[in-house]
Amino acid sequence: MFDTENFQQQVISWQQSHGRNQLPWQQSAGELADAAYRVLVSELMLQQTQVATVIPYFQRWLEAFPDINTLARADEDEVMRLWQGLGYYARARNLHKAAKYLAELPEFPASLAELLQVPGVGRYTAGAIMSFAFDQYGPIVDGNVRRLYCRYFAISGVPHSTTLEKQLWQKAHQLTPTSQSRRFSQGLLDLGATVCKARQPLCEQCPLAADCQALLQNRVSDFPNAKAKKAVPSKAGSFLWISQGDAILLQKRPSPGIWGALWCLPQVADDSPLLAGAKLHGEFSHQFTHYKLNAQIWQISAEQYDVNLRQAAPEIWAKPTELAMLGLPAPLKIYLAAKLQP
């Protein structure tokens, strides 16, 4: 019979001795709502992004938006500017929506059910807030936990399939303790990130090695099952370079969507009449999760920018000195810096 309490204690003891306990979002001497806000920000930033990358962004974010109310009142452009470079910009928009929702409540939600009502908060983030902010029962499953559970229990399945996710969440609900949940959950994340790594796992250092089914079967590299590899498609993108004096025309991207709510060169269809007679200004490529963008920037005059062919989107003329104050897609920021340097 599986000893749940022993598993919990092994994770908790290891985390206390070897885990990460000095991350900036773990340091909160204020009220529970302040701790919950820090966890909410950090968890959305950490989705698809490594801890080392997130730390400076988190610190800058807290300087600009130290609490829920400050973020709720913030201008969208300022929010997107501070997120610039982290990618997956829907996270920033969701965080802003969450702050506006939370600012209207009398107190920060303190149950899984209430947290799941917050815009942009799924069951992982809800569990993380319960565990890390309130030290209450809060099951979590992310990439690190998924890998650890798949190996420890030798769970096979198509990655991210409904069947596999259901099994993993069942494990999470069964194994998460009702006390010391903060240290247990942090222990799972730390083990997955530093010991039970995707490549070259350090099984000899793992406190769970004695009962790890993948290790006992000499099949650690088999779990989690590998995703079927798909060819990454390429897509062309045509953008306009329109200048007026030393200012460049920028257009706000629609939200939701790729680079939503960020300022960008106007994008047009590849067969747009605006490209007739346009001069190629430059090119850049950018790798998204599901495709590669091959962008071409076409230069036309302000007079050629036919008002009847414009998209119904906010536009501004931005000087080079003003670009640092705008939220720009990372590859465009690099392109502009290269083209506008003195």
Q: Which of 43, 76, 104, 204 is catalytic?
A: 43
Is residue 42 a contact partner of residue 75, using CB atoms and an 8 Å limit? no
SS3 for 201?
Answer: coil
108 Cβ contact list (under 8 Å, min separation 6): 32, 33, 36, 37, 68, 102
For helices 51-64 and 32-46, give the axis angle rounded to 10 degrees.
Answer: 130
**Alpha helix stretches (DSSP H) within 176-257:** 181-194, 213-216
Is residue 75 a contact partner of residue 92, using CB atoms and an 8 Å limit? no
Is residue 113 a contact partner of residue 137, using CB atoms and an 8 Å limit? no
- Both tokens of 55, joined, read 């730390």
286 forms beta bridges with: 293
37 Cβ contact list (under 8 Å, min separation 6): 67, 68, 108
DSSP string, 15-47: HHHHS----GGG---S-HHHHHHHHHHHHHHHT
Is residue 32 a contact partner of residue 108, using CB atoms and an 8 Å limit? yes
76, 86, 101, 35: CA torsion to nearest 10: -130
Q: Is residue 43 annotated as part of the catalytic site, yes or no?
A: yes
Is residue 309 a contact partner of residue 273, using CB atoms and an 8 Å limit? yes
List residues with catalytic annotation. Answer: 43
